[in-house]
Structure 1
């Protein structure tokens, strides 16, 4: 596996497009991987043979550790900073604009942008091992880019708790707050259920499913501009001395 990670996109006979991303650093998302995932989602959305999408990661312990730390540490100007945080913004926007229903299977821990992916799912399932965490405030930044998706899915109160309390929250907490629709004991049970739902969704009318998705995402037409603005905020904060110091300490752990 390369330092940019890997991505597979496979179509089943039933019309389910399974997209799997992997990275040796706890399935973190470097810029190249983010762009590839966005492209895969856009292609699946435009492909008439794809009727539903199952998005998941490889491995069993971590769903997604969020942003790639090495790239984060390398940011040295505002332009680069904003572009970096636009990576997850573009992924969330791709999930939003995709006309096909997206099922996300979270088999392990999710941090930062990984929580953002879960929150942008049309239907999200997880295992008991899928604890979630937003550590951005602890490193002097903030989860600005993913907050709109979190608030839409979980509400302001839960998003506030998750943002300010930067410790782990377990899968049952996430389930109770609406981030996860179902929680399973094992990864095998999770994947079986996620695949079954994706197959069932693939049997439904594409036009009806697309109209339903647009209805469920109502009120988000301003997100492209909003997320770009939020990426600029994060790109500015990551250049501050407190952020640089916190990231350096985090890297040494």
Structure 2
């Protein structure tokens, strides 16, 4: 299935919210990156406005991330995972939520820097795959990737994504969230066992694909290239599946050069699109 007749889509818009950033050498972001050039990484969420309700794709770093990080991140990983939080983004988002309450949080996966803000939205239903939930909640969940206290509370309103056997673009399964073609989820395992990606299709004809952490930069899809091997060892669940996901998104980019591909941590790519409070329609 492909997008057809975008003018028939509902009035949907999206905005990228940079909740924090980190800085390291480009070489750590992707294999083949420069050892002399610094690169900024973003911790971002995507806010989508739909006539049936606003939702977040990932939460970025939430209000309580400092405490979560200090209490749960292994000491040897803290230098690698350090971040600078953007309090201004939280203030702006709080104002936005007063006008458009967040009814749903859809998570690309449950790693700590994507699920940190779940408890900031206690009324929201939280969507993930059963596979990702079971892995994240299990005793084998890797240290430094998952912080179970972020999502283990009984108050979290879970909903498990059930993909349908409906091909969408070059994905074999999909879920049309609102049944109107505006927001479509697809499985994207590799970086995490139950990771997902999201298409947002706008009435203007603009299209976004949120690629989670399949790669940390657009270069990962363009070259293509994995993360630097140490980075991949620390964060990727299955390198072979991750490579398959990279190639799948690369083919998507080649077929639709105008599509906005958004890796969650690529500050440069996100900055070229624009950050919250700017919305795209």
The two structures have a TM-score, normalised by structure 1, of 0.27
* TM-score when normalising by structure 2: 0.25
More helix by share: 1
Larger strand percent: 2
